[in-house]
Structure 1
Amino acid sequence: MSNKKIGLFALTALVLSSMIGSGIFSLPQNMAEVAGVKALLIGWAITGVGIVFLGLSFFFLSRLRPDLNGGVYIYAKEGFGGLVGFFSAWGYWLCSGIGSVSYLVVAFEGIGTFVDTPEQIIFGTGSTFYAILGASLVVWLVHWLIARGVREAAFVNILATLVKVFPLILFIILAALYFSPTQFFSDFEGKTVMNQNQSMDLLTQVKNTMLITLWVFVGVEGASILSGHAKRQRDIGTATVLGICITLVLYVAITVLSFGVLPRETISMMSNPSMAPILESMIGKVGKMMITFCLIVSVLGSYISWTMYCTEVPYRGVESGAFPRMLSKLNKNNTPINSLWFTNIVIQLCLILVLFTSQSYTKLISLASSMILVPYILIGAYLFKLARQCKAKWYIQLTGLMATLYGLWIVYAAGMDYLFLSVVLYVPGVMVYLYSQYQQKGKIDLCKKEWGLLIILIGIFLMACWALSQGLLSI
């Protein structure tokens, strides 16, 4: 975007800001609703190992292929061909766009806690007319900011990251002081966790934590997406690993310590952001106000990061014919301005859709999470393939394998409903890819394997559409 390059500190802040959005403020309630302490610890152990391997995959890929810029798209394309690369880019772009909309919705829901009254609901759950109007203003303010150049937007993001991290550290310190081992172990097995009036077994509880933990870590790839703007390519992997380690410590500490402050049943019934009432139980109403304010700053900072990623992916995809040429246009600040317009117009349309459908934050992140599964699997798979081809050291090959297995585990844990939904959203994008191929090459350039994959996906797409029409898919 800009000629000015981003350093390690700013890249790390972007990774942190991408991952630390709205999810962390709702983690205690989200986890308490579906799992007991034992399942929670197992779920975080699996996620911790998996996400570290995923982060290391970006680290090693930035070393093995420093010539590649663009992150998830270019790695998938190099490893598995143009069509698979496009699916990775399309899925990631949709995830970024839908995730951005969810940030705006929850931000104005947070503002509503300060201005709404029982007699007059202005912002409500973030889907009222005034909330959507405010969110739209934010969309175009951020549009103006990013159009001025990525370094300027990254600086604003650093400030937002500092604001959001402070209350998280304060929460952890206070929760540690109020922590009760007796309370923590009172429902260790999670026997009171129910699903349709039936107690859930341990495996089901662990599986139910997976999409929650995946969503809060979405953004781990942020530094690689903006790799073309880094001062040093080696900073990409370092920023990714640093961001993961810091975020993992914060996530685990906040969720685990919360279970030692209040009963799991109490936390599971809280409204979100659930960190607010938990902190209120420790230091009074000022705690709730502090967390709510920081939630607003946090999600707006994350929105800046996600808009930059969402703009960069189509721009990088133009170079190899995955997206139409018009998206490659740069403005005087070297910002891909048409890609930025394309992204923000789609976000604006999604906001209008939210206004008329009253979709909640939870529904939006479910959609976003379903779209990120394939890109993450392909990152690990490409590292494993590349490491074997290059005869890299055993631990690099192991990293790729473990990251791939983690991605496949997430697909299994998410269930068939999410897999079908992903296909429903992936397949329409094929028309964009075929048009781009014809525009730039004068023909549709697919090999036999790609035609085979496309036929299979269209078959699944038709099945999924039928299941949706029959009400057989539950999201």
Structure 2
Amino acid sequence: MSKSDAKLSLPALTALVVGSMIGAGIFSLPATFGRATGAGGAIIAWFVAGGGMLTLAMVFQALAIRKPHLDSGIFIYAKEGFGNYLGFTSALGFWAGTCIGNVSYFVLIKSTLGTFFPVFGDGNTFYAVLVASIILWFFHLLVLKGVKEAAIINTVVTWAKIIPIGVFIIVLAFAFKADIFTMNFWGTSASMGTGNNIVGSVGEQESLFSQVRSTMLVTVFVFLGIEGASVYSRLAKKRSHIGTATVLGFIGVLTILCLVTLLSYGVLLRPELAGLRQPSMAGVLESIIGRPGMIFISIALVISVLGAYLSWSLLAAEVLYSAAKSGLMPTTFAQENVNRVPYKAVWLTNIFIQVFLVITLFTDYAFQLALELTSSMTLIPYFLVSAYSLKLAVTGDSYTGHKAEIWKGLLLSAIALIYSFMMIYAGGVKYLLLSTIIYGPGTILYYFARKDTSPNVFTVRELILFITLMAGAFIGIYSIATGIIHI
């Protein structure tokens, strides 16, 4: 086989982009959106999320072309543009977000099994955490032995995601009722009831803005991984295919997400959607074709999520490894075992995941907490990437000097920056404070990484930022202890 034959065509490249973006979050969309808003709010939410995330994807792609030597991960842009400490916080946030995302995988698997085995409840019972912990450390041993993403695992996982989602969309298209969709459109039903997993109530006074805002962190979660599209540039037959594949893949995923969300509003009334246990896609299909529908989706989800977990656990360890290589984390995390696995990074990653698994025992809505905290943690690195892209456009660094090119860079970067900020704002003070509990104390890793290589660990500005993060961490811990913040 020639080198050219080994390269990927546009359709194959587009399929890779789609596969990297579709994860476990899609299986939870019907109930998650049903609790937050009606069909009209969902349309607005996907329009905002689609535009914002597409802009972010274009920023990632532009940076990959303009700064090809910055290939250590998205945190490297923060380091290059704003110094070592912000580079560290970006790496820490992305790593922690990835770990907590893995916790959401475990909770969703156990919640799925809880449908058939009540002992697992909603994924946050003692037995759910115990079984999840066993799986966690089983995968830990596999990774340490050098088990990577084998082609067979990727193939099974891909089909496990695509087939049930396709079947779900087709069945809902035939079962869709326009009158139910119309009743669900504005999401202002008088009461959402008090059933299991229902968060609060929605009254006539709730504004559309408030409804849409409630969905924002969810839309971020289902698009996580969009930054990985630029990784495929080296695999393309033509460089021009990268941008095309990114746009086509993104539009394809956005279409699937919209169909899963909006078709559900034409099958069940919003209070019924909101009352479904996760994974709610299984509950919607069960309402149409009975128990076999739930079993079908549940089996597919378990296979899909377990495969996705292997990918994301490797990614989390890789973030620590790359940050250690860049001098932002202690060098110990760059050490590899005989199987060329950064074993200390793997250990810290899985210990962190284990701690959060235990924390889910004390949360009322474990999956929702993990989902939204994952999004909140990841938005900080996204925001810093957008800020770096804007800085390049303002200074003209890596630009040819043509006004049209600079204005395009300014516009894209500004939109991505504003979108990232809006998403952080939509998450609210609660998740910002919860994030600082990780960012502030986590700085101890930065201290050990820098103390032997620099006479001053912090610059003046970095010290102010560190003090601010620690203050937020203390406030966050106090708020949890006193019940001001409820998890």
What is the TM-score with the length of structure 2 in the denominator? 0.86
The CA deviation at 1:271 is: 1.9
2:66 corresponding residue in structure 1: 64
**Bigger mean CA deviation after superposition, 138-147 or 245-254:** 138-147
1:403 paired with 2:416, answer yes
1:172 paired with 2:174, answer no
The match for 2:368 among 362, 368, 380 is: 362
1:470–1:148 CA distance, 2 compared to 1 (3 A): closer
1:83 paired with 2:85, answer yes
8 Å CA contact 1:73, 1:86 repeated in 2? yes
- Kindly provide the amino acid, as one letter, of the partner of residue 472 in structure 1: I
The CA deviation at 1:152 is: 3.6
- Kindly provide the amino acid, as one letter, of the partner of residue 424 in structure 1: I
1:68–1:418 CA distance, 2 compared to 1 (3 A): same
| Residue deviations 1:65-99 (CA, integer Å, cap 9, x gap) | 11122322111111211100111111111111111
1:445 paired with 2:435, answer no
Correspondence 1:1-400 to 2 at 5 A: 16=18, 19-114=21-116, 116=117, 121-147=118-144, 149=146, 152-153=149-150, 155-192=152-189, 198-199=203-204, 200-223=206-229, 227=231, 241=247, 243-354=249-360, 360-388=366-394, 389-390=396-397, 391=399, 393=405, 394-400=407-413
Whole-angstrom CA distance in 1 between matches of 2:265 and 2:362: 37
The CA deviation at 1:150 is: 7.2
8 Å CA contact 2:149, 2:311 repeated in 1? no
The CA deviation at 1:136 is: 2.8
1:424 corresponding residue in structure 2: 437
8 Å CA contact 2:122, 2:277 repeated in 1? no
In structure 2, the residue corresponding to 1:410 is in which secondary structure? helix
8 Å CA contact 2:73, 2:322 repeated in 1? no
The match for 2:473 among 419, 441, 461 is: 461
**Bigger mean CA deviation after superposition, 12-21 or 391-400:** 12-21
| Residue deviations 1:255-276 (CA, integer Å, cap 9, x gap) | 0111112222221222222211
- Kindly provide the amino acid, as one letter, of the partner of residue 205 in structure 1: Q
**Bigger mean CA deviation after superposition, 212-221 or 162-171:** 212-221
In structure 2, the residue corresponding to 1:262 is in which secondary structure? coil
The CA deviation at 1:331 is: 3.2
> Could you tell me the percent identity over the aligned residues?
40
The CA deviation at 1:125 is: 2.6
8 Å CA contact 1:95, 1:367 repeated in 2? yes
| Gap runs ≥5 in structure 2 | 1-5, 192-199
**Bigger mean CA deviation after superposition, 279-288 or 84-93:** 279-288
1:472 corresponding residue in structure 2: 484
Whole-angstrom CA distance in 1 between matches of 2:481 and 2:120: 32
8 Å CA contact 1:122, 1:128 repeated in 2? yes
The CA deviation at 1:11 is: 8.3
8 Å CA contact 1:14, 1:222 repeated in 2? no
- Kindly provide the amino acid, as one letter, of the partner of residue 163 in structure 1: A
1:344–1:155 CA distance, 2 compared to 1 (3 A): farther
8 Å CA contact 1:36, 1:193 repeated in 2? no
1:3 corresponding residue in structure 2: none
| Residue deviations 1:264-297 (CA, integer Å, cap 9, x gap) | 2221222222211221232232211111111112
The CA deviation at 1:399 is: 1.7
**Bigger mean CA deviation after superposition, 339-348 or 291-300:** 339-348
The CA deviation at 1:405 is: 0.7
Question: Over the residues paired in the alignment, what is the CA RMSD in angstroms?
Answer: 3.0
**Bigger mean CA deviation after superposition, 290-299 or 125-134:** 125-134
8 Å CA contact 1:35, 1:193 repeated in 2? no
In structure 1, the residue corresponding to 2:226 is in which secondary structure? coil
The CA deviation at 1:353 is: 4.3
1:80–1:243 CA distance, 2 compared to 1 (3 A): farther
Whole-angstrom CA distance in 2 between matches of 1:206 and 1:285: 32
1:237–1:319 CA distance, 2 compared to 1 (3 A): farther
1:150–1:66 CA distance, 2 compared to 1 (3 A): farther
The CA deviation at 1:355 is: 5.0
Whole-angstrom CA distance in 2 between matches of 1:237 and 1:338: 36
8 Å CA contact 1:109, 1:123 repeated in 2? yes
**Bigger mean CA deviation after superposition, 455-464 or 97-106:** 455-464
1:361–1:197 CA distance, 2 compared to 1 (3 A): closer
In structure 2, the residue corresponding to 1:372 is in which secondary structure? helix
State the aligned residue count: 462
The CA deviation at 1:314 is: 0.8
The CA deviation at 1:377 is: 0.9
Whole-angstrom CA distance in 2 between matches of 1:155 and 1:209: 35
